[in-house]
Amino acid sequence: MNASSTKPRCLVLTLYSGENEYADCKRSVAGQEGVEVVHECFEFLGSVEAHETLYRRIIDCREEFDVFLKLDADMVFHTPQSLRNLTDRFLSDPGLDHMQLPVFDVPSHSFLMGFHMFSPRVSWSFPLDPLFPDQQPAYPGHRLFDVVGRERYIDHMPDPSLSQCYYLGLHRGAKVVQRQRQRSSRSAAFQLSYLKRIATNTRFDPQRKKLILHSMFRALLSPQDVGQKRDFDGDTTFGILEKVLAGSFATPVLRQAIFRVLRLLYTRKTSGDGAVRIGQKT
């Protein structure tokens, strides 16, 4: 901290690519109390360029700030005290260099990992891996990865556009198929559980929920077509089977039956001899 100030200095960094919550994100940062906060945003950059720009900015500003927060453009601080509370928690541990905590995901009304906070001691090696640019930093101290904490600091997707909802269902559904092909049954089960929480969330807008479920089943039923269905222009026309399954998944009795079938299909483990075994429950 500055010797002349008791307020911690925080640089908040945001990558923006069209998220509907962007304006609210910026307003929530500007409204934070008890901190000296600077908010820098990088718009419509490719994934590798975006992350490299963000990480280099942290390294270049390491003498100017006490903490750095990577805040996605679809994330909003829950209260005006959220950043101060986070910063106090981080700085209370002198050896802490990287903290990951859950965000409160509004579509599923549940906590999900999460956001990243860094000390000035972190560093990255460049160039970044083009396939996995969102890399963990190197640091001399230690990392806190808290999946249990349930303090609501940041809300995720509080007001998603229809486009965001479409891609959310498509992305999560595609991950179920990808994880199953990679024999990662626990990961596939997590994605299905997350989508089920969205289906059971009565607080979430029904139109947006329906779009997420429709696109989820689109990815599950036609995984080979997902790559060709990237452009969303407001057209929410889906196949009959996608509509039937999504509608059924939205009703409690049928949802449980469909969920069990999906778990059976996508959380199987295949042994080296070709035998099929059911994956562990999560």
Dig out the tokens for 222 from the structure.
């036609």
User: Could you read off the pLDDT tens digit of each residue along the chain, which spans 282 residues?
Assistant: 655 568 999 999 999 999 999 999 999 999 999 999 999 999 999 999 999 999 999 999 999 999 999 999 999 999 999 999 999 999 999 999 999 999 999 999 999 998 999 999 999 999 999 988 999 999 999 999 998 778 999 999 999 999 999 999 999 998 888 755 665 677 888 899 999 999 999 999 999 999 999 999 988 888 766 655 456 766 667 788 888 888 887 778 888 888 888 888 887 654 443 333 333 333
- Tell me how far apart the alpha carbons of residues 110 and 140 are, in angstroms, rounded to a whole number: 33
Dig out the tokens for 183 from the structure.
């024999």
Q: Are residues 25 and 50 in contact, defined by beta-carbon separation less than 8 angstroms?
A: no
Q: What angle do CA 219, 224, 227 make, to 5 degrees?
A: 80
**What is the H or E stretch that residue 103 is in?**
strand 96-105
Dig out the tokens for 181 from the structure.
């092909």
> Which residue's structure tokens are 């626990």?
186
Phi, psi of 54 (to 5 degrees): -65, -50
- Tell me how far apart the alpha carbons of residues 241 and 237 are, in angstroms, rounded to a whole number: 12
> β-pairing, 36-43 with 9-16?
parallel
- Tell me how far apart the alpha carbons of residues 106 and 108 are, in angstroms, rounded to a whole number: 6
Nearest to 24, CA basis, from 77, 60, 66: 77
Dig out the tokens for 202 from the structure.
């009565």
Q: Are residues 110 and 200 in contact, defined by beta-carbon separation less than 8 angstroms?
A: no
Name the pTM for this structure: 0.88
